[in-house]
Amino acid sequence: MSKIVDFTTSLDKKDETGYGLIRIFLGIALFIRGWMIVANPESILELGVERESFVWIALIGITHLIGGALLTIGFFTRLAAFMQIPILFSATFFVYKPSELMMGGQSFELAALVLFLLCVYFIFGAGPFSVRNYFYK
C-alpha cells in the first residue's frame, strides 16, 4: 500500500507534465481538425454553413493548422490560443445549439470544452513543458 501512496505522491509533484500533455493533445486535435477542413471543406457545409463562406472556412482550417502546431510544441502558445478563441466561440454559441447536448459526434459540449481549454492556455501560457520554456532558460 505504501508503494501506491509513494507513486501517487510522486505524480502529484509533476502537475506541469499533465498541463503540458493536455496542451499537446489539444494542439494535435486542432491541427487534425484544420487538416480535415482544408482537405474537405464540404464537411463544414454539412453543419449548415453557406457555400459562399468558403474563404472563411479556408481561414478557419489554416488557423487550426497553424495554431494547433504552435500549441503542440508550446511556442507562441498565447497567440495560438487567442487566434482560435473566436472560432471556437462561434462554434460553441452559433453553430452548435445547447439543446444538442449529449448528441453523438461534434457537439456543443466538445466545442465548449475546447473553448475553455484555449482560454486557460491564453491566460496561463504553455507552462514549463514547452519549446518556449526551453529557449527562455
CA distance 85 to 120: 11
Task: Supply the pLDDT for residue 51.
Answer: 65
- pTM equals 0.79
Q: Is 107 left (phi over 0), alpha (psi -120 to 50) or beta?
A: beta
As a whole number, mean pLDDT of residues 43-58 equals 70
Contact 79, 131 (CB under 8 A): no
As a whole number, mean pLDDT of residues 74-86 equals 94
CA 6 to chain centre: 33
Average of per-residue pLDDT values in the chain: 82
Supply 17's cell numbers.
507534465
Query: 67 pLDDT band (50/70/90 cuts)?
Result: very high
Which helix or strand (DSSP H or E) is residue 49 part of? none
